[in-house]
Structure 1
Amino acid sequence: MPDKLQTFEIDKVIHEPARLLILAYLSVVDGADFLFMMNQTGLTKGNLSSHMSKLEDAGYVEIKKEFVDKIPRTLLKLTKEGRLAFAEYRSNMTQMLESLPK
């Protein structure tokens, strides 16, 4: 076993399990509405809203509110910065796991 394992930068905003799940879903679609994300993640309205706000504050997601046939709709989209941060997170985690002794 090596004396010291290589250290990696882990984005703590992304590393939280619920936010990681949100970004994983948003990374494979152009955008999603709030209800879809609630159903896919299993998060409550309040939890999803809280995590989305943290991701928005970090610049990783864009939250857009609109009306469709007089019904409010909240759209969620990964920003360019969010897409890059998620890709870097995945790369760092993969490298870290691959560096562990077998």
Structure 2
Amino acid sequence: MPPEGTAFDEVIHAPQRLRICAALSAAQKVEFGFLQERLGLSKSALSKHLSQLSDAGYVRQDRAVRDARSRLWLSLTPEGRRAYTAHVQALQEIVGTAEA
């Protein structure tokens, strides 16, 4: 159980959603297909996790046409970036408490 007062986030904490946030935090925006390949998820699994993150206000999804194909671009919202950073800090605090 996380210490009181930490920003442990149940939405982000699920393993695949944590991986999604980590990948998105490293870039301005990421194309859906690239993220799907990098994480090794099916389209439906990735879509489900993205929907949960979007519903929480953490991920923005933008469609754009490139090379005559519609592409879905993903990015963390400012709120999502803050929540991810706070969640990582909460995890570090949990680990630090356990090691102490």
| Residue in 1 that maps onto 2:20 | 22
How much is the aligned-residue C-alpha RMSD, in angstroms? 1.5
| Unaligned segments of structure 2, at least 5 residues | none
| Residue in 1 that maps onto 2:44 | 46
What CA distance in whole angstroms lies between the structure 1 residues aligned with 2:8 and 2:26? 21
SS at match of 1:84: helix
Stretch moving more, 68-77 or 27-36: 68-77
SS at match of 1:49: helix
Q: Which has the higher helix share?
A: 2
Runs of 4+ in 1 over 3 A off after TM superposition: 5-9
Q: Deviations over 1:2-26 (max 9, x none)?
A: xxx8444421100000000000000
- Does the C-alpha gap of structure 1 residues 50 and 101 become closer, same or farther in structure 2, counting only changes over 3 Å? same
Q: Confirm or deny: 8 A CA contact 2:7 2:86 kept in the other structure.
A: no
What CA distance in whole angstroms lies between the structure 2 residues aligned with 1:101 and 1:62? 36
TM-score (norm 2): 0.91
Report the AA paired with residue 94 of structure 2: M
For the pair shown, the structure with the greater C-alpha radius of gyration is 1
**How many percent of aligned residue pairs carry the same amino acid?**
36
| Unaligned segments of structure 1, at least 5 residues | none
Report the AA paired with residue 11 of structure 1: D
Q: Confirm or deny: 8 A CA contact 2:7 2:83 kept in the other structure.
A: no
Report the AA paired with residue 27 of structure 1: S
- Does the C-alpha gap of structure 1 residues 51 and 6 become closer, same or farther in structure 2, counting only changes over 3 Å? closer
TM-score (norm 1): 0.89
| Residue in 1 that maps onto 2:92 | 94
